[in-house]
Amino acid sequence: MATSPNIAKKNSVFIASSLDGFIADQNGSIDWLHSFPNPDNIDMGYAEFMAQIDAIVMGRTTFETVCNFDMEWPYRQTVFVLSNTLQQIPSTHRNKAQLVRGSVKEILAQIHQQNYHRLYIDGGKTIQHFLREDAIDEMIITTIPILLGDGYRLFGELPHPLSFRCAESKIFLEGIVQNRFCKMKK
């Protein structure tokens, strides 16, 4: 199947970060994500975001973390798992996930060929990998206003700077701020 050039392709990030830019603390814990009381369990736009998504792209680490969650499989969309070490998707998840390999460009071509165009790029390493290839169009970053001091960073080194613009900003739970950044066209 050929890719249709007139379908709008978009690679989006939807992630929570500490105020100092960490997505997990130094022990890999994300308990601090829940440091703000959320009695009504509001989703801060997650369902609305996911409704616009055709497929999810994540790294092996994130995939295995989600597989091990003590809950139902959380995605209705096909998940593409980036891995050079995983030989195959475990049989329990073969109807949910596909393995992809290669450069970002090759991976995107494989996914677009299957007619998935609006992609949710998830997991710290995968996001950094896509950013290094300038392959992220939109980032919705929910900042939990805690300074952790150390941990696993959302952003990493880049071959050259990347310019976005903040298109939208919302405050949730009287303290959490969510900013939506769109890539500036060159």
Q: Which of 85/163 has CB closer to a second copy?
A: 163
Q: Is 49 in the site for a second copy (CB under 8 A)?
A: no
Smallest gap from Cβ 16 to a second copy, in A, equals 13
Q: Is 186 in the site for a second copy (CB under 8 A)?
A: no
Evaluate whether 39 touches 170 at the Cβ level (below 8 Å).
Answer: no
Smallest gap from Cβ 131 to a second copy, in A, equals 7
Smallest gap from Cβ 152 to a second copy, in A, equals 14
The H-or-E segment that residue 86 falls in is none
What would the two tokens of residue 18 be?
Answer: 């500490």
Q: Is 148 in the site for a second copy (CB under 8 A)?
A: yes
Q: Which stretch binds a second copy (CB under 8 A): 39-47, 73-81, 100-108, 172-180?
A: 172-180
What would the two tokens of residue 123 be?
Answer: 């997991």
Specify the DSSP class assigned to residue 118. Answer: E
Contacts of 32 (CB under 8 A, 6+ apart): 18, 25, 144, 146, 148
Per-residue x/- marks for a second copy, 76-105, CB under 8 A? ------------------------------
Evaluate whether 62 touches 126 at the Cβ level (below 8 Å).
Answer: yes
Q: Is 140 in the site for a second copy (CB under 8 A)?
A: no
The H-or-E segment that residue 99 falls in is strand 97-100
The H-or-E segment that residue 62 falls in is helix 60-68
Q: How many CB atoms lie within 10 A of CB 28?
A: 11
Smallest gap from Cβ 129 to a second copy, in A, equals 13
Smallest gap from Cβ 24 to a second copy, in A, equals 13
List residues near a second copy by CB under 8 A: 19-21, 25, 32, 35-36, 131, 143, 145-150, 154-171, 174-177, 179, 181, 184
